[in-house]
A and B are shown apart, each in its own frame.
Chain A
Amino acid sequence: MAVPKRKMSRSNTRSRRAQWKTTAPHLVPCSNRACRQPKPQHVACPSCGQYDGRQVVAPA
Chain B
Amino acid sequence: MPTPTKGPRLGGSPAHQRLMLANLATSLFTHGRIRTTEAKARRLRPFAERLITKAKRGDLHNRREIQKVIRDKDVVHKLIAEIGPFFSDRNGGYTRIVKTMPRKGDNAQMAVIELIADKTVTAEAEAARRSRPAAAKAKESGPASQTAAEPAEGSEETAEATEAAETVSQTEAEPAEGSTETVEGEAKGEDDKS
On A, residues with C-beta under 8 Å from B are 40, 42-44, 46, 51-52, 54, 56-57
Determine the residue in chain B with the shortest Cβ distance to A43: B99
Is the beta-carbon distance between A56 and B98 smaller than 8 angstroms? yes
Main secondary structure of the interface of B (DSSP, over half): strand
Q: Indicate if the CB atoms of B100 and A57 lie closer than 8 Å.
A: yes
For B100, give its contact among A52, A54, A56 (CB under 8 Å): A56
Compute how far the CA of A17 lies from the CA of B35 in the bound complex, rounded to whole angstroms: 37
Chain A residues near B98 (CB, 8 Å)?
A: 44, 51-52, 54, 56
B99 to chain A: which residues have CB within 8 Å? 42-44
Q: Nearest residue in B to A49 (C-beta to C-beta)? A: B100
> A43 to B101, Cβ gap below 8 A?
yes
Give residues of chain B (69-107) contacting chain A, Cβ–Cβ below 8 Å. Answer: 98-101
- Report how far A12 CA is from B98 CA in the complex, Å: 45
C-alpha gap A32/B100 in the complex (Å): 16
Q: Give the docked Cα–Cα distance between A40 and B38 (Å).
A: 15
On chain B, the residues within 8 Å of A51 by CB distance are: 98
Residue B34 is within 8 A (CB to CB) of chain A in the complex? no
Given the complex of chains A and B, what is the CA–CA distance between A46 and B35 in angstroms? Answer: 14
- Whether a CB of chain A sits under 8 angstroms from the CB of B10 is no
